[in-house]
Amino acid sequence: MAARRNPQLNVHGELIHLLSVEGLPREVLVQILDTAGTFLSVSEREVKKVPLLRGKSVFNLFFENSTRTRTTFEIAAKRLSADVFNLDIARSSTAKGESLLDTIANLSAMHADMFVVRHGESGAPHLIAQHCAPHVHVVNAGDGRHAHPTQGLLDMYTIRHYKRDFTRLSVAVVGDIVHSRVARSDLHALSILGVPDIRAVGPKTLVPGDFAAMGVRVCHDMAEGIRDADVIIMLRLQNERMSGAMLPSASEFFKTYGLTPGKLALARPDVIVMHPGPINRGVEIDSAVADGPQSVILPQVGFGIAVRMAVMSIIAGNPA
């Protein structure tokens, strides 16, 4: 088969869509993180706005319900002075039987400049990017199990903020990795940024051995997985997976893979603990850890807005 160009990049190798972290050059990731750094101060100003997207229309298309992610994208776009439109597609067009691409065509006719898309099917943002007008940019806000690149990037921003250098770190991602788009984006980003020791930790039902092909060490033992880690990223366990064929119960999961102060002591003393939220206290993480001194869960949220501002401003400035 012929090699196909990464659809996120234009012929000059510049980012025009953000669909996945996979396959992005390291320089592009660093550019996003550096740009996010400059936006961090915007949020602390009296007037929390810059005019970079003034006159641009950003459509939040959430085919799956989400309040938190949609809100952070909305805040980010508004701080860039864009006009933001939230479409709750889950309850409108598709319920009437309109196809995904018809929805996109209709919104394009309303002169959209950017789509922020969340969809339950892996690859849906790729399909949209492939079929929308050339001047329209697409940001993936989470597709199926595939990717959640802005979350991955804000995790990288957080790690860089606290640890500076990626090339000496041991990072453990723990929990329901097989169903997690956040985990996939984190694993790709960590690998691109040169983290030498990446571990995917969880039971075999949630962390299949195939993840080794992504350049990570698969650990089914929690102690082995987090020993001497510099960074631990805990993943949210979805309610529907807490009892059934994947796991017998939330409490057994907490017993075996939940992050408690006792287990945390196995990691390096200066370890940071991250979580994409919303957290399940007493399921994947103990409150004492979530609220403890090593937790950076709340700063992550603030960084998330700056990273999303960075992504939107960068892709809006690059021609197809």
CB of residue 108 to another protein, shortest distance in Å: 15
How far is it, in rounded angstroms, from Cα 129 to Cα 174? Answer: 31
Residue from 30, 75, 214, 266 touching another protein (CB under 8 A): that is 214
- Asked if 1 interacts with another protein (CB under 8 A), we say yes
How far is it, in rounded angstroms, from Cα 6 to Cα 27? Answer: 15
What Å distances lie between residue 96 and 37, 101, 298, CA to CA? Answer: 42, 14, 39
- Asked if 118 interacts with another protein (CB under 8 A), we say no
Q: Which is nearer to another protein, 6 or 81 (CB)?
A: 6
Q: Restricting to residues 21-80, name those near another protein by CB under 8 A.
A: 22
CB of residue 46 to another protein, shortest distance in Å: 42
CB of residue 140 to another protein, shortest distance in Å: 11
Q: Which of 110, 89, 157 is nearest to 309 (CA)?
A: 157
Q: Which of 93, 113, 111, 95 is nearest to 103 (CA)?
A: 93
Q: Which is nearer to another protein, 124 or 169 (CB)?
A: 124
DSSP state of 66: -
Binding mask 125-144 for another protein (x = CB under 8 A): -xx---x-----------xx
CB of residue 180 to another protein, shortest distance in Å: 9
How far is it, in rounded angstroms, from Cα 289 to Cα 284? Answer: 10
- Asked if 99 interacts with another protein (CB under 8 A), we say yes
Q: Which is nearer to another protein, 101 or 133 (CB)?
A: 101
Q: Which is nearer to another protein, 139 or 273 (CB)?
A: 139
- Asked if 7 interacts with another protein (CB under 8 A), we say yes
How far is it, in rounded angstroms, from Cα 162 to Cα 312? Answer: 24
How far is it, in rounded angstroms, from Cα 271 to Cα 295? Answer: 9
Helices (H) and strands (E) in the chain, counts: 11, 9
- Asked if 302 interacts with another protein (CB under 8 A), we say no
Q: Restricting to residues 9-28, name those near another protein by CB under 8 A.
A: 22
User: 66 and 74 in contact (C-beta within 8 Å)?
Assistant: no
- Asked if 194 interacts with another protein (CB under 8 A), we say no
**CB crowding 171-206: b at 16 or more within 10 Å, else e:** bbbbbbbbbbbbbbbbbbbbbbbebeebbbbbbeeb
Q: Which is nearer to another protein, 56 or 179 (CB)?
A: 179
Q: How many CB atoms lie within 10 A of CB 270?
A: 9
Residue from 86, 122, 191, 243 touching another protein (CB under 8 A): that is 122
Strand partners, 84: 58
CB of residue 56 to another protein, shortest distance in Å: 26
Q: Which two tokens stand for residue 114?
A: 């950017």
- Asked if 145 interacts with another protein (CB under 8 A), we say yes
CB of residue 66 to another protein, shortest distance in Å: 17
Q: Which is nearer to another protein, 13 or 292 (CB)?
A: 13
- Asked if 101 interacts with another protein (CB under 8 A), we say yes
* Of 45-53, 65-73, 145-153, 191-199: span binding another protein (CB under 8 A): 145-153
Rg for the chain (alpha carbons), in Å? 19
Q: Which residues bind another protein (CB under 8 A)?
A: 1-2, 4, 6-7, 22, 99-101, 119, 121-124, 126-127, 131, 143-147, 178, 181, 184, 208, 210-211, 213-214
